[in-house]
Structure 1
């Protein structure tokens, strides 16, 4: 029979508790000294913990960029939003780049006039009355070619001769290929391609603009410098995925880099955004709600708002995005308001709108609720979606909204690194 040795009462005490227990027969003076020493130890430990946290925060600011994925169909306002972010938080870089937009703005202007001329040629009932105007403005055809050549675009061909720059032309716009960003086109604009007279193609084009568009005194001026508003409204269409890097220049986040991935919104390019899901802190989805009465370019059977809703639903359903902060911009509210004021019926294109009042407050509230309901219904897990009614070209309002969005992304980022509670 195996005998059992009785355990002493001390054996049942946890070793850690025993180590922390005060000495036996401790005097009052000894106890006071011990407690003072322990308090000092805790104070030093807390200081060390705080220093570690601060160093971790500082390292994160230096090494960890904040990555944001911009999603939305073509012409939803993604690139415009990125411009305003740069204008607001990387001002010096914005100022250095702004003059480079001059040629792009002139090209946007000339192309718009030429599109009007094209439309007039097809309008037989007014063509005879517009012949003189068309003759006077016909040199703008050559201006467009010169400006496109100045930006490095191939004349008479869709693909840029300098293919590595990733810029090519379409009948009504300048397009940027994947990974080039607008900097590629603007870099080309800075390089003066000389003609025999010693003046650049862009200078020659400006002379024609001055002669034929006399009413546009501000833009068609030899000393014209683009304003912030001009650049925000300038059009460079994104094709593929563009990467834009901005270093915050002031404030508590000075020195932190933000990276925006601007994904081309056409349906043929949407497969490109999947690889970016794994490494972004937030997604800003832009849904242009003014397009309820428009069709997709190249697909006359698909309503643009319907396409945007389907795109949004796909994003909300993705299990890869459950931990990514989701921000919704219901964009182009200014255009929606103008359409409704003209009497364009929302119910005609969205029957579920019913007999509600066909005005901006009612329509915007309805559309916002529909998008948020999609997120609630289709998200794999319950999540909060931050939504804003926006007009991307309204720089003042967008700066305020982006400020709130930036703070939200930063706070969420810090929480994920356990830097704030």
Structure 2
């Protein structure tokens, strides 16, 4: 039997509830419509608030991108390491032991640099004991190559010295040629360390280092060797990756790198490097920070522009201790002059005029030591005039010069946050990074229209 549904049964029950009362007066209808309009406005406001909060959360979790600029050896990688140590502690701890091999390489490389200089020193300038040490330490050249192979580094040039020019060059520095920089080398080292059975190249290299410890100490402590290095302008203690003063602590089977050791370690990278860290502390936990180190040497500066897009801040590092040093490969160019030219280019760029600009006048510790030794700033910077050759006066002068360039060369008025820094001073650098991190985040929120 077929059942027929009456038309009144098809009426939506909700529509019956929403129907106006049958005997509604005009005044009641006006009041009801006003209530319904207010309810719609409240509902729309709630919906808009929900959409805004979703957008805010989405924007708030977008990566914060920072561009590191500066010439080679300015301290960019060191600064990135201090950021990781301070805000991404778990990833830092996971990598810390892997730096052990890098630090051993730094130690051996310093010894080989000394040996390269001594090869071109007349025997009349050194005693027979120095020549004996040179012979006994010669296996460390092979150790350096083995450690480079263990880390998967690009092959370096042979140790050499340009005796014809009177400028003795240290061994060419080996480099990483990968986008992920030291992360790849450390990952490779970890994989090889986990291997079973046969000893790794790093372990074999350490055995040779252990057998050479006393000879290394004798070489570094020899007055005639130190004199030969000073005459040729090689001050290893002023360069990154210097560990000769920590020889017996580092050349040890039970050695575990400290935070300061890792920050001081040197592993030069070639090309553009990208470092990603997720902040693990505070209200920003889970936020990703991306640092781009685009390389500071002249040959790399042509690839900078693609990385200017969408960065929230530029940290420019200018090592002010290099006022008496020359550009490698072009001894006619003063290193501080080269850094100033690079800074001027960044300030003049219209593409970067809206990007927050942070200036680190770095390596203040080395500048202070040089001035204390009597190295004259006026000799290399005539405009310094008759000012005192001390750290407070010199740092103030250089700071004013860099800020004046920014004021004159910027396409439009801008604020430059300037800090006097020593990147390897982890505590001081961490405090500086905490200050600029707040500024960068604040600027990031403003650009996302979350702050008015």
Q: 1:73 aligns with which of 71, 74, 94?
A: 71
Match of 1:93 in 2: 91
Identify which of 337, 353, 378 aligns with 2:368: 337
Aligned counterparts of 1:154 and 1:314: Cα–Cα separation in 2: 31
Partner of 1:165: none
Kept in 2: contact 1:61–1:255 (CA 8 A): no
Alignment match, 2:17: none
Q: Tell me what 1:248 maps to.
A: 279
Q: Cα distance 1:295–1:195, how it changes in 2: closer, same or farther (>3 A)?
A: same
Cα distance, 1:416–1:204 mapped onto 2, change above 3 Å:
same
Partner Cα separation in structure 1 for residue 392 and residue 34 of structure 2: 65
With over 3 angstroms needed to count, the CA separation of the structure-2 counterparts of 1:271 and 1:213, relative to structure 1, is: same
Identify if the C-alpha distance between structure 1 residues 87 and 196 changes in structure 2 by more than 3 Å, giving closer, same or farther. closer
Q: TM-score, normalising length from structure 1?
A: 0.84
Gaps of 5+ in 2: 1-26, 159-169, 218-246
Match of 1:108 among 103, 106, 109: 106
Alignment correspondent of 2:349: 318
Aligned length: 382
Give the direction of change, closer, same or farther, for the CA distance of 1:401–1:150 in structure 2 (3 Å limit): same
Q: CA deviation at 1:265?
A: 0.6
> Which segment drifts farther, 207-216 or 281-290?
207-216
Kept in 1, the 8 Å contact 2:276–2:288? The answer is: yes
Separation in structure 1 between the aligned mates of residue 450 and residue 423 of structure 2, nearest angstrom: 33
Range 95-104 or range 189-198, more displaced: 189-198
Match of 1:57 in 2: 56
- Sort the Cα spacing of 1:220 and 1:46 in 2 relative to 1 into closer, same or farther, 3 A: same
Equivalent residue number for residue 117 of structure 1: 115
Sort the Cα spacing of 1:157 and 1:376 in 2 relative to 1 into closer, same or farther, 3 A: closer
Q: Hey, what's the Cα distance between the residues in 1 that align with 2:46 and 2:321?
A: 55
Give TM-score scaled by structure 2 length. 0.78
- Determine the C-alpha separation between the residues in 2 that align with 1:305 and 1:155: 29
Match of 2:126 in 1: 126
Distance 1:284 1:157 in 2: 32
- Is the 2:116–2:171 contact (alpha carbons within 8 Å) kept by the matching residues of 1? no
Q: Per the alignment, in what secondary structure is the counterpart of residue 423 of structure 2?
A: coil
CA-to-partner distance for each residue in 1:50-73, whole Å, 9 max, x for gaps? 5444332221233x2111110000
**Residues 180 and 50 from structure 1, CA distance in 2 versus in 1: closer, same or farther, beyond 3 angstroms?**
same
SS at match of 2:405: helix
1:307 aligns with 2:323: no
Matches within 5 A, 1:116-265: 116-124=114-122, 125-126=125-126, 128-153=128-153, 171-192=171-192, 198-214=198-214, 216-265=247-296
Cα deviations by residue, 1:309-355 (Å, 9 ceiling, x for unpaired)? 00000000000011111110000000000111111111111111111
Distance 1:276 1:341, change over 3 A: same
Q: Are 2:362 and 2:420, in contact at CA under 8 Å, matched by a contact in 1? A: yes
- Out of 291-300 and 244-253, give the one that drifted further: 244-253
- How far did residue 177 of structure 1 move? 1.9
- The residue matched to 2:304 in structure 1 has which SS? helix
Give the Cα–Cα distance (whole angstroms) in 2 for the partners of residues 193 and 59 of structure 1.
40
Q: How well do the aligned residues superpose, as a CA RMSD in angstroms? A: 2.8
C-alpha contact 2:316 2:358 (8 A) present in aligned 1: yes
Alpha-carbon offset, residue 240 of structure 1: 1.1
**Structure 1: 5+ residue runs without aligned partners?**
1-25, 159-169
Residues 357 and 157 (structure 1 numbering): CA distance in 2 closer, same or farther, change over 3 Å?
Answer: closer
| Structure 2 match to 1:21 | none
Partner of 2:359: 328
CA contact (8 A) 2:153 2:175 kept: no
Q: What are the superposed Cα offsets for residues 165-211 of structure 1, whole Å, 9 maximum, x if unpaired?
A: xxxxx934331225131111112222338999821111111111111
